[in-house]
Copies of this chain bind each other. A is one copy, B any other.
Amino acid sequence: MDKTRMTKQRKTIINILKDTDTHPTAEWIYDQVKKEIPKISLGTVYRNLNLLAEKDQITVINYANEQSHYDGNTKNHYHFKCKNCKRIYDLDLDLFSKDLNKIANQNTNFKVSDHRLEFYGLCPICK
């Protein structure tokens, strides 16, 4: 059973997130919640965001707390990250590369020039 409690802090954070499509930062959410709960702390916002992400009720875009990784290979290629050992592998599927941009351009009104595609799962060693 789930021992989590629905505090007014948590409820407010969830509502704010469900009501926007601006993909906000913790700081922005914090500012919004403060309008309703002036004494809320930023730590509480982070704790709740992490909890919600763990329960897959929200998604984290660009997890900022990892180290940066660098790639000396500038040829266009994709990456695969093993969920188990965290290793990053190169993937040779540039077949789509141009197609993906084209499809995105044709189906939206953005001027798409680039994309980043990353796969996740288990590598040969871990599976």
Name A residues whose Cβ lies closer than 8 Å to a Cβ of B.
14, 17-27, 29, 49, 53, 56-74, 79-80, 82-83, 87-93, 96, 100-101, 103-104, 107-124, 127
Question: Smallest distance from the beta carbon of A53 to chain B beta carbons, Å?
Answer: 8
A87 contact set on B, CB distance < 8 A: 22
Q: How many Å lie between the Cα of A67 and that of B114 in the bound state?
A: 21
A-B contact pairs, 14 of them (CB 8 A): A21-B73, A61-B68, A61-B70, A61-B71, A61-B79, A62-B63, A65-B68, A80-B112, A112-B119, A112-B121, A113-B120, A114-B119, A115-B117, A116-B120
For the complex formed by this chain, how many copies does it contain in all?
Answer: 2
Closest to A53 in B: B70
Measured CB to CB, the closest approach of chain B to A80, in angstroms, equals 5
Report B-chain residues with C-beta under 8 Å of the C-beta of A25.
Answer: 67-70
Chain B residues near A100 (CB-CB < 8 A): 117, 119
Q: A26-B68, A111-B127, A120-B112 are in contact. Are A61 and B74 (CB under 8 A)?
A: no
Whether B110 lies near A122 (C-beta < 8 A) is: yes
